[in-house]
Structure 1
Amino acid sequence: MDAQTIRQTFTDFFVDRDHLAVASAPLTAPGDPTLLFTSAGMVPFKPYFLGEAQPPHHRLTSIQKCFRTTDIDEVGDASHLTMFEMLGNFSLGDYFKAEAQAWAWELVTDVIGIPPERLVATVFTDDDYAYDQWKKIGLPDSKIYRYGEDQGNFWAAGPTGPCGPCSELHYDMRPGYREDAGPAEADEKWLEIWNLVFMQWTRFEDGTRADLPAQSIDTGAGLERWAMMLQDQDNLYDTDLFAPLLGYIGVRCDRDYHTANDAERRAMRVVAEHGRAMTFLIADGAIPGNEGRGYVLRRLIRRALYMADSLGIEDDLLSDLAVEVRGVMGAWYPELEEHSALVANVLDQEEHRFRRTLSTGRSLLEGRIAELDSDTITGQDAFELYDTYGLPFEVTAEVARENDALSDEAAVRAEFELALEQQRERSRQQATFAYDDDAARYAELETATEFSGYETVETEAEVVAIVAGGERVARASAGDAVSVVLDRTSFYPEGGGQVGDAGSLRGTDLQVDVEDTRAFGDVIAHLGKVVSGGIAVGDRVTATVSRGRRADAARNHTATHLLHAALRHVLGDHVRQAGSLVAPDHLRFDYTQPEAPAADDLRAVQQLVQERIRENIPVSTSEMSYDDALKTGAMAIFGEKYETAVRVVEICDPAPHVHDCFSKELCGGTHAPATGFVGAFQIVSEGSVGAGVRRIEALTGSAASAWTDQRLDALSEIATAVRATPDTAGDRIAQLQAEAAELRRRLQAVEAKTGATVAEQIAESATDIGGVAVAVGRVAVESAEALRRAGDEVRRRLSESERQGVIVLGAVANERPLFVAMATEGAVAAGVNAGRLIGGVARIAGGGGGGSPEMAQAGGRDAEKLDEALESTLDAVREQLG
C-alpha cells in the first residue's frame, strides 16, 4: 500500500465514523508562541483540549505534518527523521477508551490487513480498563504488556495539569526472534505503529490526580512507519516516501543507493530527509535566519549541502530536490505547488551563500587558528564555527590537521559533541509542550470577555479579575502594576500585527492607566498601573480607549492592506504577507519576494497606494464562515490561525460598474472607515530580513508629512553645503565625486612610485635566516589594500633575485596599525606559516588576525607599538624554522 493510499484510507475510515477531517496545520506552529514547530498531531487542537476555543466538531481526524529538532544530528540512520506525518483521531469529550481501541484494531487488522498474530498491545501499569478492552477485542494475555511512566506509557502536558495513560500497538518486524520479549525489552523487534493517549486526569503539585470533567482521546500513528510496515521494508528510506528522492540524489552523485558504502548511504539519506523537511518548512513560512526556527532551517540546509559536497555534488541541488519532493508529496499537500517559487528562490540563495562559505572556509579557519592562544583548536572553537557559520566538524578538523593545530581529535570531538548536546537540550526546552502561566491563570475564570471595540471606544464594565505581582488578587492600590479583566471591553487586544489599545479605566475615586491590551484565549486583559484610589473585583468602571492612538493604529492598519494589494499588483501574485507590525506611529510589512524590487517598482507601489487613498474608497467589514470567505476571494494570511467564523475587511469601489475589490483580507483589526482617512503614505525604508523575505517600513498621516518636511530641510542644508540649489545639488555632488576620484587616482600613482622605491629598499635589506630571506619594514600607506600591494612588490623583488622569503610589512592607517605577511612557496616548504606568524606579531600591537600559510593580514589597536611588533618578526621566523 503506497503512502497516498494510506493517508486516504485512514481519513475515510474516521470520516465514516463521524469525524471531521481537518487539513494539516503549518509546521511553523502558528498561534502557539510556546512552540517553534508543530511537533505532534494534537498541537493544532491544543486550544480545544484546554477549553480555550470551541472545536468545529467533537470528533476530529487529521494527517499532521510534524517537525522535531532533537534528532537532527542522528538523521542518516535507518530510523531517525526530523519531519514526519502523524495520522491521528481525536475525541473532545465524546468517545473514550473502548471506541478508540476498537477502531484502532479494526483499521489495522480488518481494513489494511495486518495479521493479528504480528501485533501486541501495551497499557499503563494500572490501567485495567484498557487491558480488559484489548482482551475483549481478542488479544491474549501473553500479547498485552503493562508498562509504567518510565517506559512511555503515560502522557502529561507538564508537571501539573491534564495527563493520562497511554496504550500502544506494536508490529512484529522479526517473527520468530525473541518471542518472549516485549516492546520495552526488544525494540529492534517491535515497531510502534499507534499510540492512544487517554486524557482522563488532572495532576496536582503533590502528585495526586483527579478525573477531568471531560475525558478526551488523542492518538498518533506515524505514516512513515505504516509505509515501512505495509511495504515490507526494514527501514524508512526504502519506502515510496524516500525512494524517489534517493534515486534522484543517486543520479546527481553517480552512485546507486543500494550498492553505495555505508558512509555514502548515510550522506544520501541526510540529503533526502533534510531536503524534504526544508521544502515543507519554507512552504509553511519558515525563512533561514540566525535564531528560532530560521536557525534550525539554516542548520538543515547547511548539513544537507555538506553531505552533498562529500558525495561530489557541486552544482546547484536543493531547488531541484524540492521539485522531486513536490512530485512525491504534492498531491496531498497543495501548498508545495502554491509556494514552489518561494521555495526555489530561498533554497537557491541559501545554497549559493553556503557554497561560498565552504569555499572560503579554509581561509576562515586558518585565521581562527592563527589567533589561538594555544597550539590546538578546541571543541568549543569547532562548535562556534559550526554554530555561527554552519561549518561541520569534519571541515574544521581537516583544516586544523593541515595547520598542525589538532593534537587530540577525539578529545576535541568530545568537547564539540558536549557543546552540541547542550544546544540540543536548549532546543528541547524550547520545543516542550508547555502552558503559558498567564493563559492558564486566565483560563481559570471560565468566562469570556465581550468585545465591543468595533462599535465604540467607551464601555461600562464590571471588574472580573485582577492580577498583580503574578498572583490573582481581590484588590489593588495606587502604584500597583496590574492586569485587569472586565466582563466587556472596547479595548482591542494585540493581535494580527496590531498593537493593543491604551487608555484608562475610571470609576468612583479610582483610575487605572492602561498601557497595553492582550488576549489570553477568550479573556482580554488590560495591562497598566493604578494611578489613584484602588480597584477591586466587582467594581464598576468606564473603560475608555485613547481615541488618538486608536485612530492612528487604524489608519496604519488600513495602509498595510493597501500596501499588500499594491505589492501584489506591481510585483506579482507570488507576494504574500510574511509578518507585520501596526503601531500608532508607523507600520512595518514583511513580504515574500526573492530579490530587491527595482526602484521604479517601489515607486509604483507607493504611487498606487497614494492613488487609492485619494479615491477615498470605503472600507467595509463583514463576518462569515472561513470557507465562505475564501470562496469570495478573501486572502488569508499564510500561517495565521483562524476560527470557524472570520471577519473580512474589504476595500472596494462602490461604483455599480466596478466588480473587483482592490483588497479583501481576513482581518480582526481596527480600520479607517475609508481610505481617505489614511491621509499621506510614505515608504521610508525597504530591505531584506532573510532569504526570500523583504521588509517595508512606512508612515501615514501627519507622520508621513513630517518625514517629508525633514527630508526637504536636509536637502536644503546639503545644497547649501555644496554651494548649489536643491534642484542642482545632485549634479554638483556628482561633480565633486568625480574630482575626488581623480585625486585618489593621482594619490595612488604617487603611492605606487614611492612604494616601489620602498619595496626595493626593504627587499635589499632582507635578513637571511636558514636560507630564507626575511624582509621586514614599515611603509607609509593609508589602506590595507595599499599595504598588500606593497607586499606584492617586495615579493616580486625577491623572486627576481631568485630568493625564497617571507615578507612582513606594517603601516598606520586611521591611527590604527595594519600588518600583512606573505611567504613564498619555498619559505612555506621550509616551515614558515604566514597566518600563524602574523597573529603573534599583531598581538604585540594589541590586535590579531590570520590567513593561509602563504598570505595573512592583521590589525591592531596600539599604533605606538607598530615598530616593536615588526621587530619581533625575526625571532618568530627563527622559531618557525626551528
Structure 2
Amino acid sequence: MKSQDIRSKFLSFFKEKKHSIVPSAPMVLKDDPTLMFVNSGMAPFKEYFLGNAQSKNSRISDSQKCLRVSGKHNDLEEVGYDTYHHTLFEMLGNWSFGDYFKKEAIAWAWELLTEVYGIDKEILYVTVFEGSDDTDNLPMDTEAYDIWKQYIAEDRILKGDKKDNFWEMGEQGPCGPCSEIHVDIRSAEEKAKIPGKDLVNQDHPHVVEIWNLVFMQYNRKANGSLEDLPDKHIDTGMGFERLCMVLQGVQSNYDTDVFIPLIREIETIAKMKYGKVEDVDVAIRVIADHVRAVAFSIADGQLPSNTGAGYVIRRILRRAIRYGFTFLDKKEAFIYRLVDVLSKKMGTAFPELKAQKQLIENVIKEEEQSFLRTLDQGLVLLNRIVEETKGDTVSGEKVFELYDTYGFPIDLTALILSEKELKLDEKGFDAELQKQKNRSRAASEMSTDDWTILFDDAEEEFIGYDTLEANVKLTRYRKVVSKKDGEMYQLVFNITPFYPEGGGQVGDKGYLEDAHGDVIYILNTKKENNVIIHFAKNLPKHIEETFKVVVDSKQRYRTECNHTATHLLHQALREVLGTHVEQKGSAVHSKYLRFDFSHFSKLTVEELRDVENFVNARIAGKLPLIEKRNIPKEEAIADGAMSLFGEKYGDTVRAIRFGQSIELCGGTHVKNTADIWHFKIVSEGAVASGIRRIEAITNDAVKDFYFENNRAYFEMKDLLNNTKEPVKALQSLQEENTSLKKQIELLLKDKAKNIKGELKSELQDVNGIQFLAKKIDLDAGGIKDVAFELGSQFDNLFLLFGAEQNGKALLSCYISKELVASKELNAGQVVRELGKYIQGGGGGQPFFATAGGKNPNGINDALEKAKDYIE
C-alpha cells in the first residue's frame, strides 16, 4: 500500500465516523510561549483542551506536521542512528472535544488497524496505565483494560508506568492515562527466541509503538496536584512513517516509499550506495530526514537564523551538511537538489511545498554554501590550535571556542583530531558547554503560578477594533517570575480594547484605573492559547471591582499607520516587481515597520523610488478602510484577499481592504490612508537567498527623518562656507583628499625604504639568529612590508618592532619559517606573551603576528624581553 493511500484511508475512515477533516496547521507556533514548534498532533488544538476556546466541531481528524528537535521531546541526536526516529514526522490523529471517550477511541483504532489496514492481530500488543502510588496516587486504568479485553487476548495487554502510559503536555495543563498500540514485525525465528511483550517500550527497532490513545481527564496544576477536567477528551497520535513501515512490509521507516525517492537521489548525487557501509547509511538517513524538516519549516515561513526557532532550523540543516561533508565527501552544496524530489513526493498532500519550492531551494543552497565556508575557516583555525598544542591532548576550552564562536561541529573536530593521533579534552569541553547551558537556563528561567479564577465561564472578548477604552472586570490572573523581567502579573479581562501581539504587530500598552484613582500600567499584551493576557508589574488592590482600561492612543495610532503601510507596500512590490513577490514576515512597531518578501535580486534605486511613489499615491488617494469581520475564509479568498503561508486561519476570517489591496489580517489599521501622512523607505537588503527586507517609516517618524536630514544639510553647508553648490564642494574635497593620500603613500614608501636601509645595519647575530628589536615610526602596513622585505633578504631572522599610533601601542613580530620549524618559535605566541607589557593582546601566524594595546609606555619593556626567546 502506497503512503498516499495509507494517509487517505485514515482520513476517509474517520470522516465516515463523523469527524471533520482539517488541514495540517503550520509547524511554527506563534501564540504559545511553551513551544517553538508543533511537536505532537494535539498542539494545534491546545486551546480547546485548556477550555480557552470552543471547537466548531467536537470531532476532528487530520495529518499534522510535527517537529521534535528541542525541549522535552527531542529526537535530534537519535535521528540517523536508528530506523524509526525523525525530526519531522506526520502524526495521524483523531480528536474528541467532550464527545466520545475510551470505548469509541479503542474500538475505532482496532477496527482501522485490523480490518481496514489488515494488520495481523497476532503481531499487536497494547498497554494500559498501571496506576501510581506516588503523590498523585492514581488508580489503574481498569476501564481501558476491560475494553481492550473485548478485542485482544489478556496476555497481550501490558501494564505500563507513568513514564510510558500517562501523557502530559507539560509541567502544567491537561493530561491523562493513555493506551499505546505496539507492533512486532520481527521474523518468526526472532519471535521464537524472545516474546514480543518483553520488548515493548524497550527501544527495539522492530517492536515499536505506532499509535497512542490519550484519555484527557485531568488538569495538572502549578503545585503538581491533579484535578478533574470539566469535560473528557480524546487525543490520539499515530506515527505515519512507522505505519507505512508496517503496511509496506519493511524493517525500517527509511525503506518505505516516504524516504526511498530521497535516498535514491542522494545515492546518485554522492555516487555511493545505501546499505553497504554503516557510516554512509547513517549520513544518508540524516540527510533524507533533515531536508524534510528544513523544507517544511521554510514553507511555513520559518527561515534559518541565529536565534529562536530559526536557530533550531539552521542547526538541523548544518547537521545534515556536516554528515555529507564528513561521510559522503560532499564539499559543495547539494542538499537543495533534494527539494524537487520532496515536492513531487509530498506536494499533493502538502501544497505549500510546491508553491514555495523555488524559495526553499534558494534558502537551503545559500545556507549550505555559507556553512561550507565556515567549515573551511574552522579547519584553518583547528590546524592552528593543533600547532599550538603541546602534548597529545587538545584543550577543551579552545575547541569549545571553535564550536561556540565559529559553529564548527564538535564531532567533526574529534574525528580530525583522532586522524592526527591527538586526544580531545572532553571533560574541559563539556565543562565549558555546561557553563553556557547554565547561563542560558538562568536567563530564561521562569516560574508560573496557576490561574486564580475570579469569574468562571466569563466570556473574553476583544473590542479594540472599535474603541480604546472600556470598563472591564478582571476574570483571572496569575503571577510569573522570570530572571529577565522579575515578578510580573498576567491579567485577563472579560472584554479588552488592548490588541495582543500577533501578525507581526506589537501588543498594546496603556493603563488600568480603579474607582479609587489607583493606576497600574499595562506594559504589554500577548495572546496565549487564545487568551489575551495583559502584563503588569503589580496586581490591582481591589480585584473584584470594575476597572477602566485605556490603550496608549499615540502608540496605537503610529502602529496602525505602519501596519496599514505594510499592506500598501505589499501591493506596491507586487505591482513594481511582479506577482512572484509574497510576504515572508513582518514587524510592525510604533516607530517603524519591517517587511520581508520573496524576490531574487537587490532593488534598484528606480524600483525603490517607484515603490515609495506607489504607496504615497495611495496615501494621497485617501482610501477608506473597508473591513469585513467573521466571514468564511473561502468567501474572502474569492473576493481577492491574500493569505500567507505559515499563518493559521480559522473557519472565519477578517478581511482588510484599502482600494485594491485586500488581505486577511487580524491587526489594527487607520480609518483612511490619509492618516499615514507619508511613507519613506530607510533601508533595503537581503535576509536570505531569495528573501529581501525593507525597513520603512511613516507619519511622525518621517517628519523626524526629514527634520534631521535638513539639520544635517545646513550643518554641512556651514562647514563648506555656505556654498550654493554643496555637492560640487564635497566632490572637490574628495578629489583633493584622494590626491593627498597618494602623496602620503609615496612619502611613506620612501620613508620605509630609508628605515629598511638603517635596520639592515642594526641586525645582531645572536646564537646564529639575525635579531632586531626596535621601535620605529611606521604604521602597521609599513611595518609588515619592511619585515617581509628583510625576510626575503636574510635567513634565520627574528624581528620585533614596536610603534605608537594615535596614543595606542603596536607590536609586530616576524620569524623566518626555518626558525619556526627548527627552533619551534611562534610569532603568535610571542606577541600574546609580550602583549601584557602594552596592556593588550593579539595573534597571527607562526611566522608573523601582531598585537595592539593601550599602553605605549610598555613598548620598550616588550622590546627588551624579545631577546629572551633566542638566548
Q: Retained in 2: the 8 A contact 1:288–1:691?
A: no
Q: Retained in 2: the 8 A contact 1:270–1:307?
A: yes
How far the C-alpha of 1:154 sits from its partner, in A, is 0.8
Q: Which moved more, 1:413-422 or 1:75-84?
A: 413-422
What are the within-5 Å matches in structure 2 for residues 155-170 of structure 1? 155-170=167-182
Q: What CA deviation, in whole Å up to 9, does each residue of 1:198-245 have, x standing for no partner? A: 112234577664432211111111122122222333233222222222
Relative to 1, partners in 2 of residues 1:843 and 1:284: Cα closer, same or farther, differing over 3 Å? farther
Relative to 1, partners in 2 of residues 1:705 and 1:570: Cα closer, same or farther, differing over 3 Å? same
Please list every run of 5 or more consecutive structure 1 residues that lacks an aligned counterpart in the other structure: 472-479, 653-660
Alignment equivalent of 2:184, drawn from 172, 183, 187: 172
Distance 1:549 1:45 in 2: 33
Aligned residue identity for 1:145: L
Distance 2:645 2:806 in 1: 50
Q: What SS does the aligned partner of 1:684 have?
A: strand
Q: What SS does the aligned partner of 1:872 have?
A: helix
Q: Retained in 1: the 8 A contact 2:454–2:474?
A: no
Distance 1:62 1:155 in 2: 20
Q: Which moved more, 1:241-250 or 1:362-371?
A: 362-371
Relative to 1, partners in 2 of residues 1:781 and 1:675: Cα closer, same or farther, differing over 3 Å? same
1:215 aligns with 232
Q: What SS does the aligned partner of 2:219 have?
A: strand
How far the C-alpha of 1:537 sits from its partner, in A, is 4.6
How far the C-alpha of 1:574 sits from its partner, in A, is 4.0
Distance 2:774 2:721 in 1: 44
Alignment equivalent of 2:97, drawn from 71, 92, 97: 92
Distance 2:665 2:203 in 1: 53
2:675 aligns with 677
Q: Does 1:262 align with 2:275?
A: no
2:77 aligns with 73
How far the C-alpha of 1:675 sits from its partner, in A, is 1.3
Q: Does 1:299 align with 2:311?
A: no
Q: Does 1:105 align with 2:117?
A: no
Alignment equivalent of 1:598, drawn from 594, 599, 604: 604
Distance 1:585 1:810 in 2: 49
Q: What SS does the aligned partner of 2:53 have?
A: coil
Alignment equivalent of 2:636, drawn from 622, 629, 634: 629
What are the within-5 Å matches in structure 2 for residues 50-449 of structure 1? 50-69=50-69, 70-79=74-83, 80-125=85-130, 126-137=140-151, 139-150=152-163, 152-174=164-186, 175=188, 176=191, 177-179=193-195, 181-185=198-202, 187-203=204-220, 209-259=226-276, 261-310=277-326, 311-365=328-382, 377-397=394-414, 408-409=423-424, 412-416=425-429, 440-441=451-452, 445-449=456-460
1:827 aligns with 819
Relative to 1, partners in 2 of residues 1:123 and 1:779: Cα closer, same or farther, differing over 3 Å? same
What are the within-5 Å matches in structure 2 for residues 711-790 of structure 1? 711-723=709-721, 725=723, 728-762=725-759, 765-768=762-765, 773-774=770-771, 776-782=773-779, 784-790=780-786
1:474 aligns with none
Q: What SS does the aligned partner of 1:699 have?
A: strand
Aligned residue identity for 1:173: I
TM-score (norm 1): 0.87
How far the C-alpha of 1:549 sits from its partner, in A, is 4.2
How far the C-alpha of 1:65 sits from its partner, in A, is 1.4
Q: Which moved more, 1:569-578 or 1:201-210?
A: 201-210
How far the C-alpha of 1:714 sits from its partner, in A, is 0.8
Q: Retained in 1: the 8 A contact 2:222–2:449?
A: no
Number of corresponding residues: 843
Q: Retained in 1: the 8 A contact 2:301–2:646?
A: yes
2:21 aligns with 21
How far the C-alpha of 1:290 sits from its partner, in A, is 1.9
Relative to 1, partners in 2 of residues 1:223 and 1:407: Cα closer, same or farther, differing over 3 Å? same
Distance 1:372 1:840 in 2: 16
Distance 2:77 2:596 in 1: 32
How far the C-alpha of 1:607 sits from its partner, in A, is 1.3
Distance 1:84 1:62 in 2: 13
How far the C-alpha of 1:514 sits from its partner, in A, is 4.7
How far the C-alpha of 1:120 sits from its partner, in A, is 0.9
What are the within-5 Å matches in structure 2 for residues 349-748 of structure 1? 349-365=366-382, 377-397=394-414, 408-409=423-424, 412-416=425-429, 440-441=451-452, 445-459=456-470, 461-465=471-475, 467=477, 485-502=492-509, 508-510=515-517, 512=519, 514-516=521-523, 518=525, 519=527, 524=532, 536-537=542-543, 539-593=545-599, 595-623=601-629, 624-652=631-659, 661=660, 663-688=661-686, 693-723=691-721, 725=723, 728-748=725-745
Relative to 1, partners in 2 of residues 1:774 and 1:306: Cα closer, same or farther, differing over 3 Å? farther
Distance 1:419 1:788 in 2: 36
Distance 2:642 2:447 in 1: 31
Please list every run of 5 or more consecutive structure 2 residues that lacks an aligned counterpart in the other structure: 131-139, 482-486
Q: Retained in 2: the 8 A contact 1:370–1:839?
A: no
What are the within-5 Å matches in structure 2 for residues 839-858 of structure 1? 839-858=832-851
Relative to 1, partners in 2 of residues 1:114 and 1:522: Cα closer, same or farther, differing over 3 Å? closer
TM-score (norm 2): 0.88
How far the C-alpha of 1:33 sits from its partner, in A, is 2.4
Distance 2:306 2:544 in 1: 48
Q: Does 1:795 align with 2:791?
A: yes
Aligned residue identity for 1:811: A
Q: Which moved more, 1:664-673 or 1:851-860?
A: 851-860
How far the C-alpha of 1:606 sits from its partner, in A, is 1.2
Relative to 1, partners in 2 of residues 1:205 and 1:305: Cα closer, same or farther, differing over 3 Å? closer
Distance 1:643 1:345 in 2: 31
Alpha-carbon RMSD across the aligned residues, in angstroms, is: 3.6
Aligned residue identity for 1:148: D
Q: What SS does the aligned partner of 1:669 have?
A: coil
Q: What SS does the aligned partner of 1:305 have?
A: helix
How far the C-alpha of 1:66 sits from its partner, in A, is 1.3
Aligned residue identity for 1:31: D
Distance 1:4 1:676 in 2: 52
Distance 2:623 2:403 in 1: 53
How far the C-alpha of 1:775 sits from its partner, in A, is 5.0
Q: Retained in 1: the 8 A contact 2:820–2:847?
A: yes
Distance 2:144 2:440 in 1: 34
Q: What CA deviation, in whole Å up to 9, does each residue of 1:772-804 have, x standing for no partner? A: 54454443222x433332332122222xxxx24
How far the C-alpha of 1:124 sits from its partner, in A, is 0.8
Q: What SS does the aligned partner of 2:149 have?
A: helix
Aligned residue identity for 1:278: V
Distance 1:262 1:111 in 2: 37
Q: Retained in 1: the 8 A contact 2:75–2:87?
A: yes
Relative to 1, partners in 2 of residues 1:871 and 1:689: Cα closer, same or farther, differing over 3 Å? farther
What are the within-5 Å matches in structure 2 for residues 795-814 of structure 1? 795-798=791-794, 803-814=795-806
Q: Retained in 1: the 8 A contact 2:454–2:544?
A: no
Q: Which moved more, 1:96-105 or 1:316-325?
A: 316-325
1:817 aligns with 809
Distance 1:466 1:585 in 2: 32
Q: What SS does the aligned partner of 1:647 have?
A: strand
Relative to 1, partners in 2 of residues 1:469 and 1:394: Cα closer, same or farther, differing over 3 Å? closer
How far the C-alpha of 1:92 sits from its partner, in A, is 1.0
Q: What SS does the aligned partner of 2:372 have?
A: helix
Q: Retained in 2: the 8 A contact 1:581–1:588?
A: yes
Distance 2:226 2:382 in 1: 56
Aligned residue identity for 1:876: Y
Q: Retained in 1: the 8 A contact 2:125–2:183?
A: yes
How far the C-alpha of 1:642 sits from its partner, in A, is 2.8
How far the C-alpha of 1:614 sits from its partner, in A, is 0.9
**What percentage of residue pairs aligned between the two structures are identical?**
38
